[in-house]
Amino acid sequence: MTTTSQESFWDRLAVRTRPGGAAANVENPRTIMRIATGAAWAASANALSTAVVFFWFDEPAAGWITVAVTFAYLSAWVGYAATGSSVSLTGITVAASIIDIVAIHWLLGGYAHSGNYLAWGSPKC
């Protein structure tokens, strides 16, 4: 990439940060739908497996919260599939994840008793 003196810093930055490879196809609606579908199902499977662990270790309140989060993820995906609006998909998913993380962290007794669920759950957002 050759730069000229007429190019501004912002022009050079835009060229360097332009997505390449698979990320360049993100404007394709089918690709976006596939990514959203895969993310929704993967997040739901992860949440359900976490709920099973909570029920296994006799923490039903945490388990039911995680089951509710699974339904929130799936309902957000259904809303996205029906409307095509990624704003509601993102908003519902992030809000459900944050509520899940904070509520379970609090329910299990904070850092010492929750296995630091707050730090483990933060990358979900």
* The pLDDT value given to residue 4: 55
* The pLDDT of residue 120 is above 60: yes
* Per-residue pLDDT, 64: 95
If you average pLDDT over every residue of the chain, what do you get?
Answer: 78
Contact 119, 110 (CB under 8 A): no
Token pair belonging to 63: 């388990």
Q: Is the pLDDT reported for residue 20 higher than 60? A: no
* Reported pTM: 0.67
- Contact 81/33 with Cβ under 8 angstroms? yes
pLDDT at 66: 92
Q: Which two tokens stand for residue 88?
A: 């509601």
pLDDT on residue 91: 83
What are the pLDDT digits (tens) for 38-81? Answer: 888 888 898 899 899 999 999 999 999 999 999 998 898 888 88
Question: Is the distance from CB of 5 to CB of 12 less than 8 angstroms?
Answer: no
- What is the DSSP code (8-state) at residue 7? S
Q: What is the pLDDT of residue 68?
A: 94
